[in-house]
Structure 1
Amino acid sequence: MSFLERIEERPGAAELRAASYRMLGLKRGATCVDVACGAGHAVAELVRKGLKVTGVDADPDAVEAARQRAPGAMFHVAHSAELPLEAGSMDGYRALRLFHLLADPVPTIVEAHRVLRAGGRIVVGGQDYGFLLIDSSDQDLTDVICLGLESRTVSPRATRTLRDVLLDAGFSDVEVAVHNEVVTEHALMAPQLKSAAAAAVEKALITQEDADGWLAEQARRGRRDRFLAVVPTLLVGAHR
């Protein structure tokens, strides 16, 4: 739960959530489901906008935290491909930070199509790990280390397929937007950097010496205010 909290409270996270709400374009009183709701940050904000919100997450601990954050919402512990909602019962559907965890996005999108009313609005997306940018004096090594980070994820590049998946599922007016989070504070990315380097070593993509040297360089960049990472998130919206 502390990880989920940190993700949603990082600089830029509130802006990303707001961008997804604008893409949803729902009016007060509309029904909306937030799938993979995590600790409930988006659910709470959507409730304050006057929406009737249902939060869904497969993690019971996440749902409990979300209930405390947004007591005015309805919650369910369920998988994204099996929502305990009636067909056509939702005006809006939102799911971010989900698809990199799924081996196949199709059942989740098909289920979204089922629970949305005709004309309803969907917004899905998340980080595509293949687009992560980290500045370094050795960019080739950095690119290999980023491949290590991808190896820790079920579907690291799933988000780029969502436009096709939505069209195949019968959605229309599909639009794609890119939200970039620029990170210049090394401490915010340090855990991910260590995880990426460790994974690259485990996969025999680099040596431990390579990893240690790269991590040391990134730490030095942080101390000199020279650290830079750009984390793009794709938002894909459509009509049912």
Structure 2
Amino acid sequence: MSKDQHTSAPFPAPPRLVELLDRVDAAPEAEALRRRSYELLGVRERPGARVLDVGCGTGRAVGEMAGAGARAEGADTDAAMLALARERWPGARFHEADALQLPYGDGTLDGYRADKLYHALPDPAAALAEARRVLAPGRGRVCLLGHDWDAFLLDADDPELTRALVRARSAELPFPRAARGYRNLLLDAGFQDVHAEARTWILTGEAALPYLEGHARAGVASGAVTAAAADRWHREQRHRATADRLFLALPFFMAAGRAPTGRAPTA
């Protein structure tokens, strides 16, 4: 059940996770992607538009869209993250809500944004159907963005071991390749004027290491590699980062569209 913006979280968000999210959000590539998503949603050209950021985390996109003139709101299932978002952006409205069941009436939103979310959902198509339901027919806009978890490109001494770790990490997620399917997902849901873009992030320092820790852990947990092999691989990447020789390329995909005229089909 969704809760309104006055709900308090029982526990604080994990400091290390928040630090990682803040570091990623502050990267120039991330800032450029967010700005582009706001352009595709028409935030500045439609002052007062009611726009929802689903999977909002600490609320940075909500705050930025509000600063650009939108009536921006956020939704997330993580109560601790929402508590931090409310602290950071006290003038914004946040909901504890699932992407599959949003606390909005039919056709009440002008924009819907989801960043690095659909790969973790149990049913991306159902989430997008919910997005279509809450968007105003004919004028509501949607923008999906995120990276492809099956396409990490990393310079490493042992490419086969690297591929095994990428596969292991990807296998932990419900839809690791969701981002490459955004365009077709929007088309299948009936959205119009669908537009897709691709960008590549290049990470060359210690900012990449938290991503790679997850790959090493997943490889050992799945039995794909031994703990010794994973540790050797991660030590190599830590050394590369210290020596300014780490190279990680992450393909990001973005797709946007407009809700069609007429009511969304019911299930």
Work out whether the TM-score is over 0.5.
yes
Q: Which residue of 2 aligns with 1:147?
A: 167
Are 1:120 and 2:137 counterparts? no
Q: Structure 1 residue 221: deviation in Å? A: 1.4
Report the alpha carbon displacement of residue 158 of structure 1 after superposing the two structures with TM: 1.7
Question: Residue in 1 aligned with 2:215?
Answer: 196
Question: Which residue of 2 is the match for residue 65 of structure 1?
Answer: 84
SS of corresponding position for 1:71: coil
1:7 maps to what in 2? 21
Q: How many Å apart are 1:81 and its aligned residue?
A: 1.0
Alignment counterpart, residue 205 of structure 1, candidates 216, 224, 228? 224
Give the counterpart of 1:48 among 67, 92, 105. Answer: 67
The CA deviation string for residues 14-55 of structure 1, in whole angstroms up to 9 with x for no partner, is 222112112212222111111111110000001111111121
**Partner of residue 97, structure 1:** 116
Secondary structure of the residue aligned to 1:206 is coil
Q: Which residue of 2 aligns with 1:24?
A: 41
Report the 3-state secondary structure (helix = DSSP H, G, I; strand = E; otherwise coil) of the residue aligned with 1:18: helix
Larger deviation: 8-17 or 54-63? Answer: 8-17
Tell me, yes or no, if the aligned pair for 2:202 and 2:250 is still in contact at 8 Å: yes
Structure 2: runs of 5+ lacking an equivalent: 1-12, 260-267
SS at match of 1:14: helix
Q: Which amino acid aligns with 1:127?
A: H
Q: Which residue identity does 1:14 align to in structure 2?
A: E
Residue from 222, 225, 228 that aligns with 2:244: 225
The superposition leaves residues 108-147 of structure 1 with CA deviations (integer Å, 9 ceiling, x where unpaired) of: 1001001111221100121210121111122222111111
Counterpart mapping for 1:78-97 below 5 A: 78-97=97-116
Give me the whole-angstrom Cα distance separating, in 1, the residues matched to 2:40 and 2:222. 39
Following superposition, the deviation at residue 174 of structure 1 comes to: 1.2
- In the alignment, which residue of structure 2 is the partner of 1:136? 156
Q: Distance in 2 between matches of 1:28 and 1:4?
A: 31
The 1-side partners of 2:151 and 2:217 are apart by 20
Which residue, out of 174, 177, 196, partners 2:194? 174
Q: Partners in 2 of 1:232 and 1:191 — Cα distance?
A: 17
Question: TM-score, normalized by length of structure 1?
Answer: 0.93
Q: Does 2:177 match 1:157?
A: yes
1:5: how far off? 4.7
- 8 Å CA contact 1:7–1:13 kept in 2: the answer is no
> Does structure 2 conserve the Cα–Cα contact (< 8 Å) formed by 1:144 and 1:200?
yes
- Counterpart amino acid of 1:46? M
- Which aligned segments of 4 or more residues in structure 1 are displaced greater than 4 angstroms? none
Higher strand share: 1
Q: Distance in 1 between matches of 2:97 and 2:79?
A: 9
Query: Hey, what's the Cα distance between the residues in 2 that align with 1:166 and 1:8?
Result: 29
Letter of the 2:59 partner, please give it: G
Query: 2: CA distance between counterparts of 1:192 and 1:89?
Result: 37
Task: Tell me which residue corresponds to 2:5.
Answer: none
Query: Matched residue of 1:175: which SS?
Result: strand
Structure 1: which 5+ runs fail to align? none
Distance between the aligned counterparts of 1:165 and 1:15, measured in 2?
24
TM-score (norm. length: structure 2): 0.84
Q: SS in structure 2 opposite 1:19?
A: helix
Q: Which residue of 1 aligns with 2:9?
A: none
